[in-house]
Amino acid sequence: MTGEIGSDACFTDRIEPGVDELVVNVGPSHPSTHGVCRVIVHLDGEVVTKAEPVIGYLHRGIEKMAENRTYLQVVPLTDRLDYVGSMYANWAYCRTVERLAGIQVPERAEYLRVIVCEMQRIASHMMSLGSAAADTGAATMFIYAFDQREKVIEAFEELCGARLTYNYVRPGGVSFEIPEGWTERVLQFCRDHRDGLELMDRLFFGNVITRDRMKHVGVLSPEDAVAWGASGPVARGSGVNWDLRKHDPYSVYPRFDFDVPTGSNGDCYDRARVRLFECYESCRIIEQAISQMQPGPIRTPGLPRLLAPRPGDAYDHIESARGALGVYLVSDGSVRPYRMKVRSPAFCNLALLPLLAEGHMLSDLVVILGSLDPVFGEVDR
């Protein structure tokens, strides 16, 4: 035995590959598969030789349904795409519609969109970190992470009345003005959240078991990350400095001062830690946005209920919590989209699973899957 207990070289080098193969089915209902992912795992002893994800268990035909809805009626459908971060799909879709129909959005609406989306990033990353921790056996961390997530969701509920499916960002603006005292409560949350993040950093990332389970597991090289189309924290964990908020700036993001955290090793630990640091940056953006925001209209006045853009197509993308989320729309001049296509970051990141899982233990598979953070509403659409 060459490796120490807990290091990645432990056990794996003692097994002769290709002796005999065991095929194990994981999912589609499994506590650690983050939804309805099914993975067919080929095992050699306990070492994964091949992991094939089987998707489609949550295929609801949202892209097809959009062809039968008017442009405004599609917004609630986009909520159900990435149900951990509904605001992103709302925004990506609305940006494409605005580009297609040539709608100008009031500045205050852009600021509100930035604030809610950065809060959504915190909520989504808390879910991701919590479940990644639960996969490694650290259930306590899930409780602390969920505590933070609940605070964001309470703020959203105050804002638009829904806890998960917000339908808040609409073509031409946002649906509601913020309630009284909301910004103060959000700023208070940002202050509390930093303490929470510090606690989680010590509790989880400083834990020796976490380090053993997550370091050097599922290493993704920067070249592979680019070649496989990975984006978001998965790419940034490998050191690829690619964030659409910085490198293809949209909305009012150029006005904010923030950093893009990147990892260096590209393992599960770095991917999870990038998410943690992104929450600090989100807090910074929220605070700047609240201080810069001016009173004004929140919706483009005089926008018709039935939008009928001129024939043509448009694509726009935003940086969601999982990566580059793009929506492509084709209009034939009628009140309904001719075709909608969602470029889902979760789908592209999940495609890395066979590459990352190969050569690791079966118990590392759930850690790798958790670090890719797929949401199956968005993978299967």
Q: Residues in the site for other proteins, rule: CB under 8 A?
A: 28-31, 35-36, 56-62, 64-65, 67-68, 76-77, 80, 83-84, 127, 142-143, 146-147, 150, 153, 163-165, 334, 336, 376-377
Which one, 70 or 300, has the nearer CB to other proteins? 70
- Token readout for 147 is 């505590």
Q: Which amino acid is at 364?
A: D
CA 249 to chain centre: 18
Which one, 281 or 373, has the nearer CB to other proteins? 373
Which one, 36 or 100, has the nearer CB to other proteins? 36
Query: Nearest distance from residue 60's CB to other proteins, in Å?
Result: 5
- 236: left (phi > 0), else alpha (psi -120 to 50), else beta? alpha
Give the number of other Cβ atoms within 10 Å of residue 139's Cβ: 10
Query: Nearest distance from residue 56's CB to other proteins, in Å?
Result: 6
Which one, 111 or 166, has the nearer CB to other proteins? 166
Which one, 317 or 336, has the nearer CB to other proteins? 336
Measured distance CA(85)–CA(315) in Å, rounded: 20
Q: For residue 61, which phi and psi values (nearest 5 degrees)?
A: 70, 35
Measured distance CA(256)–CA(258) in Å, rounded: 6
Q: Are 33 and 26 spatial neighbours (Cβ–Cβ below 8 Å)?
A: yes
CA-nearest of 334, 285, 294 to 311 is: 334
Query: Nearest distance from residue 92's CB to other proteins, in Å?
Result: 18
CA 232 to chain centre: 8
Which one, 60 or 191, has the nearer CB to other proteins? 60
**Beta partners for residue 40, in sequence order:** 25, 52
Query: Nearest distance from residue 67's CB to other proteins, in Å?
Result: 7
DSSP at 205: I
Query: CB under 8 Å to 59, separation ≥6 — which residues?
Result: 380, 381
Query: Nearest distance from residue 31's CB to other proteins, in Å?
Result: 4
Which one, 319 or 378, has the nearer CB to other proteins? 378
Query: Nearest distance from residue 69's CB to other proteins, in Å?
Result: 8
Query: Nearest distance from residue 166's CB to other proteins, in Å?
Result: 11
Query: Nearest distance from residue 137's CB to other proteins, in Å?
Result: 15
CA-nearest of 380, 364, 363, 323 to 53 is: 380
> 120: number of CA atoms within 13 Å, CB side?
30
Which one, 128 or 251, has the nearer CB to other proteins? 128
Q: Which amino acid is at 214?
A: M
